[in-house]
Amino acid sequence: MDRYGAERVLNVVAPVSDSDALEVDRLLEEKLGRLSLTAWQPRNMAWHASQIVKQVDPGAETAAARMAHEGRKVTLDHGVYAQSRISADLPSDVASAAFARVDAMARKLRLGDSSRNLDQLRADVFADLLLGNDPGVTVPQSAAMVYLHMPIDTALSMSETGASIDGIGPIPATYAREIMTNPKSIWRKVLCDPATGNPVDLGRSSYRPTSTIRTLVEVRDRMCVVPWCRRPARHCDFDHQQQWTKDHGSTAVDNAGPRCRKHHRLKNAPGWINHYDPAHGTSSVTTPLGVTYTDKRETVLEPRPPEPDNEPYWVQFRCSEAGSSSRWCS
């Protein structure tokens, strides 16, 4: 293993404890021994290491992603010959979308400008956009799109595996669901052959995930989560149990419940203690007088044992920062 490869693996293993890191090291060595030589390439090795980290410590990757997200920044380094470098540490999907937008504008400009190469055009467009100058070109419709893939059970928080972004690789499921619920994101169903895992058909419809998740929560819970309240879910507020930025929650079915306006306001009122577990449907409210009321929602269908041969549907998301998603809405 060369130094660069070792550094990439170390970055992947950094969030886990020392004892888990030893276990990852042992499993990685075992796995690389079974695979072809291309598995030893730094990028592939880092990918295999990240799969093993997920298996050894499922929460580590999400914790590391949150820490990395908190470290986002813009830096400026002055170089020689009157040149400087400005760079930004951003979430991968945001950086990819931003670069794709600059790249698409530069490529469009190049059609009528042979005096500047593509690198120079991208640098000029980048500076114009940041400085609020007119770059002399509009953004092409298909620019700034990133492709996120994940199995439907991961989209619905029933699993934590399988999410990846084209050109970037695997990303934590909680972060993938956060991207998915961006109001500009569009999702599309891709039916895969259970035997091969390859796509065999595309769903005809596309959906906006935010409204789909809201509808799923309404269908699942059917009424306000406060035990004695029967207010229909469709007339309730969509309440995040935990906020992504403040409490590390995410916009997902396992972090939401309907709460009528009155009980939404009561949630944080002095003396009231509210608890709702969206995954299991248990709810409790303790009043200022110390009386606790509890409830458990009924499932929509009688649960059945899972059938091991059933491959879940996969969904593909096309996330757009440039408003180009309309072509998927028809």
For 171, other C-beta atoms within 10 Å of its C-beta total 22
Which one, 163 or 233, has the nearer CB to Zn ion? 233
Q: Does 225 bind Zn ion (CB under 5 A)?
A: no
Q: How many residues bind Zn ion (CB under 5 A)?
A: 6
Closest CA to 125 of 148, 150, 144, 152: 144
Identify the residue among 106, 137, 226, 233 touching Zn ion (CB under 5 A): 226
Residue count of the chain, please give it: 330
At closest approach, how far in Å is the CB of 222 from Zn ion?
12
Which one, 128 or 295, has the nearer CB to Zn ion? 295
At closest approach, how far in Å is the CB of 266 from Zn ion?
8
| Coil, helix or strand at residue 298 | coil
Identify the residue among 144, 224, 253, 285 touching Zn ion (CB under 5 A): 224
- Residue 291 structure tokens: 């009386």
Identify the residue among 149, 189, 231, 297 touching Zn ion (CB under 5 A): 231
Identify the residue among 229, 240, 282, 313 touching Zn ion (CB under 5 A): 229
> Do residues 151 and 159 lie in contact, with contact meaning Cβ atoms separated by under 8 Å?
yes
Query: Please, which of residues 250-279 interact with Zn ion by CB under 5 A?
Result: 260, 263
Which one, 12 or 236, has the nearer CB to Zn ion? 236
Stretch that binds Zn ion, among 3-11, 26-34, 171-179, 224-232 (CB under 5 A): 224-232
Stretch that binds Zn ion, among 17-25, 123-131, 223-231, 278-286 (CB under 5 A): 223-231
| Coil, helix or strand at residue 46 | helix
DSSP H or E run through 93:
helix 92-110
Closest CA to 164 of 154, 176, 152, 155: 176
Strands across the sheet containing 145-151:
169-170, 164-165, 145-151, 314-320, 185-192, 199-207
Query: Please, which of residues 96-125 interact with Zn ion by CB under 5 A?
Result: none
Interface residues with Zn ion (CB under 5 A) are: 224, 226, 229, 231, 260, 263
